[in-house]
Structure 1
Amino acid sequence: MTPKPLSRLALILLVAESTAVQALVSLAMLALPAIAPKLAAELGLPSSLVGFQISIAYGGAMCTSLVAGSLVRRWGAVRTSQIALLAAAAGCLGLTAGWLPLMALASVVLGFGYGMVNPAASHMLMKATSPANRNLIFSIKQSGVPVGGTLAGATLPPLALAFGWEWALVAVAMVAALLALALQPARTNWDSDRDPNARLRGSPLSGLKLIWQSPRLRALSVTGFAYAAVQLSVSTFAVTMLVSDLGWTLVQAGVLLSALQIAGIIGRVGAGGVADRWFGGARTLVGLGVLTGITALLTGLMGPSWPALAAFAVMVPFGAASLGWNGIYLAELAHAAEPSQIPRITGASLFFTYGGVLVGPSAFAALHGVTGSYTATYALAALPAFVGAALLARRRA
């Protein structure tokens, strides 16, 4: 596809809008986990239930990822992004009910919104980028995920303590709705290629069929599953590992978790730049998988006698590598797909990625039950990272 010529300002605005949408929907997805202790104490529920809420939300994302291509084609990428934001807002409002069945339904709606974001963004960004900057631009946009996580951790607990957990969720809903409204002027330019007569009822499995028929797309998608399984395990269990296995305080572990998120932001943008300038997307993805596997093995060696600086020296690169692959992965999908099929291919491949998100933490928890050690379980997490890297390397060969 020939990139649409854009001025530097127009490209900056497009990337800023796409990143903001990603950050806001990610913030909404992580809102409940960020205030789980406060909510659990008031409702008399175990805070561990938040794990089920995340799984339900990603289950919803898996569903819409399969039909997002049809939505983008009929409604346009901007309109689809607006609907994603409004679904996130509705989900957050539904979570304030405090009644588990309704909260589960709200989590599904929240996931519906999350599943629409990347296919819509890929459709716009592919039209506005060239091979010289595509990986970097996609990676900047994907930095919205750790930005959303950082915002959730930094803003929502204080809001919940000051005004109540319900109002913290309402605040997220309001910001998401305002951003949806602010995107309206962008529809004139970016939704001009939509087809109002396009069918919405096409087979939701058609995208999966396209993925499986292409060896390159199949390798990327299976690698996305493996990398996503490791990625969420890193952020989910890091604090627990540091407190339980290394004897850190909760505050000390929280500092390292923040460092992981920041490393993820830097890793995504940095890896995108490296891919564009030197190694290309596929080779960089292989390198990130290898680095993730190596740092996972090093994490398995950590113990109470390790100084904090040594732990940071292992875990920060672990975070940068395990969180740094997403933007390049999306850019590679867009590059490998036919232009008209980019939203459909992106959504179908993300079905695998969200599957990794669902399986990874559960498998990690089950393996911990066998090993009895979080550090040892992290060492085992090197396996999917190496397998994903090997699949891509073999495909390149």
Structure 2
Amino acid sequence: MKGAWSVLGVTLAIQAMVAMALLTLPAMAPAVAQAVGISAVYIGIYVAVVYSGAIVASLAAGPAVARFGAIRVSQAGLLLCAAGLVLSMAGTPAAIATGAFLIGVGYGPVTPASSHLLALSTPPERMSLVFSIKQTGVPLGGALAGAIVPGLQHLVGWQGALVAVAAACLACAAVAQPLRAALDADRDPARPMVLGHLGRPISLALSHPGLRLLAGCSFVFSIAQLSLTTYLVTYLTDTLSYGLVAAGLALSVSQFGGIGGRVFWGWVSDRGLGARRTLALLAALMVVLSAATALLEPGMPDLLVLAILLLFGASAIGWNGVYLAEVARQAPPGQAGLATGGTLSITFLGVVLGPPLFGALSGLFGSYRAGFAALALPTALCLAALLRTRRDVQAGA
């Protein structure tokens, strides 16, 4: 288990940095939108472009990891995220969109790469916990973005904030270099990168009933997660009259809820509740808390608002580790990276479609409340599917 914890530390740091890169611009969306001269509602399009790149990269991740090694692929991801942030400094919609796509291409292969490393080094009975701890890197990166980026924007401007996060990504890639030889020892430099094989991960995910259910639920859960992280700052500033720094801190609170949630739900799943029942419980919480977020009003006590957002983060951001560990468990032997890439491409499709739909619905009704309220319906359908599957398994036992 000692080796697993070492791998965990490396993958956690890399995951946090690419997540921070992804959420850097959303964390200061009102200021960037004003500088560029567009509506902040278009931040959903930005996130969709990011995850369009992530879909492509996640499908290529399995062959890339096999050929170049998981650490080298992760380092390349960090470099691409840094390049995307720097390109976005140009301040034109075209440059920001291109930068977003590069960030997505950098973000996409990191999770399959880390799943490859952790699946090899983690005992099966600890998988949910270890994968959940590693996946705390995503909300940790979001918390860092929410806590640091708005303040940086006030100090050095939004372009200076982009440069600072890009530099942090480069530093993380450099720190990982001494570990590359040992952790990438299983790479096969002769492994071909064949474009025709990019459909194999999706085929694997859709042909396996358990993986198909997990991928479908992750599609919906990712809509809830990214709608929360993408629009929370704008919702709080526009609807609840929060200042940008206060709204950024509230985003950090939701992300810290996700950090604690990922570890807690992984522990709960490993301790006997099981992955599917844990995911069903999380779906139920998302239904309640998305509705509660839609009902927030100006003048509500800050502690009450933060408590709701903390719990919303714990559920809407806390599901990933349990999900990824279950994908690794159900994947055919030696194909955890391939299965993760296939299911993640469907997860990322939810992110591509979800935030723009959230923004369009909010624009149609003239309030971000409509978007948060609408999240309850698809998560309720996931809850029903998970409960029905659980009953089918028990009936066939």
Q: Structure 1 counterpart of 2:384, which letter?
A: A
Q: Following TM superposition, by how much is the alpha carbon of 1:371 offset from its aligned partner in structure 2, in angstroms?
A: 4.8
Work out whether 1:23 is the aligned partner of 2:16: yes
Mapped to 1, the partners of 2:334 and 2:295 lie a distance apart of 48
Q: Residue 340 of structure 1: SS of its match in structure 2?
A: coil
Q: Deviations over 1:143-174 (max 9, x none)?
A: 11111112122222333333343332222222
> Among 75, 92, 97, which residue is 2:90 paired with?
97
Residues 13/308 of structure 1: CA separation in 2 closer, same or farther (3 Å cut): same
Mapped to 2, the partners of 1:11 and 1:162 lie a distance apart of 40
Native 8 Å contact 2:142 2:252 kept in 1 = no
Native 8 Å contact 1:85 1:177 kept in 2 = yes
Task: Point out the more displaced range, 29-38 or 205-214.
Answer: 29-38
Q: Deviations over 1:176-228 (max 9, x none)?
A: 12221221222222212122221211421111111111110000000000111
Alignment partner, residue 67 of structure 2: 74
Task: Point out the more displaced range, 61-70 or 32-41.
Answer: 32-41
Alignment partner, residue 257 of structure 1: 251
Alignment partner, residue 323 of structure 2: 329
Work out whether 1:388 is the aligned partner of 2:376: no
Work out whether 1:215 is the aligned partner of 2:209: yes
Alignment partner, residue 272 of structure 1: 266
Task: Point out the more displaced range, 259-268 or 222-231.
Answer: 259-268
> Structure 1: where are the runs of 5+ without partners?
1-5
Mapped to 1, the partners of 2:102 and 2:129 lie a distance apart of 31
Task: Point out the more displaced range, 383-392 or 140-149.
Answer: 383-392
Q: Following TM superposition, by how much is the alpha carbon of 1:42 offset from its aligned partner in structure 2, in angstroms?
A: 4.3
Mapped to 2, the partners of 1:100 and 1:370 lie a distance apart of 23
* Aligned pairs for 1:127-206 within 5 A: 127-201=120-194, 202-206=196-200
Q: Following TM superposition, by how much is the alpha carbon of 1:263 offset from its aligned partner in structure 2, in angstroms?
A: 1.0
Mapped to 2, the partners of 1:312 and 1:208 lie a distance apart of 38
> Among 28, 50, 57, which residue is 1:64 paired with?
57
Alignment partner, residue 332 of structure 2: 338
Paired residues, what number? 389
> Among 113, 116, 127, which residue is 1:120 paired with?
113
Query: Under a length normalisation based on structure 2, what TM-score does the superposition of the two structures give?
Result: 0.89
Q: Residue 108 of structure 2: SS of its match in structure 1?
A: helix
Q: Deviations over 1:282-318 (max 9, x none)?
A: 2211111111112233445555685555444433322
> Among 353, 356, 359, which residue is 1:362 paired with?
356
Mapped to 1, the partners of 2:86 and 2:238 lie a distance apart of 35
Q: Following TM superposition, by how much is the alpha carbon of 1:256 offset from its aligned partner in structure 2, in angstroms?
A: 3.5
Q: Residue 124 of structure 2: SS of its match in structure 1?
A: coil
Q: Structure 2 counterpart of 1:31, which letter?
A: T
Native 8 Å contact 1:215 1:395 kept in 2 = no
Alignment partner, residue 314 of structure 2: 320
Native 8 Å contact 1:220 1:392 kept in 2 = no
Residues 241/165 of structure 1: CA separation in 2 closer, same or farther (3 Å cut): closer
Native 8 Å contact 1:236 1:361 kept in 2 = yes
Q: Residue 339 of structure 1: SS of its match in structure 2?
A: coil
Q: Structure 2 counterpart of 1:77, which letter?
A: A
Mapped to 2, the partners of 1:302 and 1:38 lie a distance apart of 23
Task: Point out the more displaced range, 23-32 or 222-231.
Answer: 23-32
Q: Residue 334 of structure 2: SS of its match in structure 1?
A: helix
Task: Point out the more displaced range, 152-161 or 260-269.
Answer: 152-161
Q: Structure 1 counterpart of 2:290, which letter?
A: A
Native 8 Å contact 1:132 1:277 kept in 2 = no
* Aligned pairs for 1:241-256 within 5 A: 241-242=235-236, 247-250=240-243, 253-256=247-250
Q: Following TM superposition, by how much is the alpha carbon of 1:78 offset from its aligned partner in structure 2, in angstroms?
A: 1.0
Q: Structure 1 counterpart of 2:334, which letter?
A: S
Q: CA RMSD in A?
A: 2.4
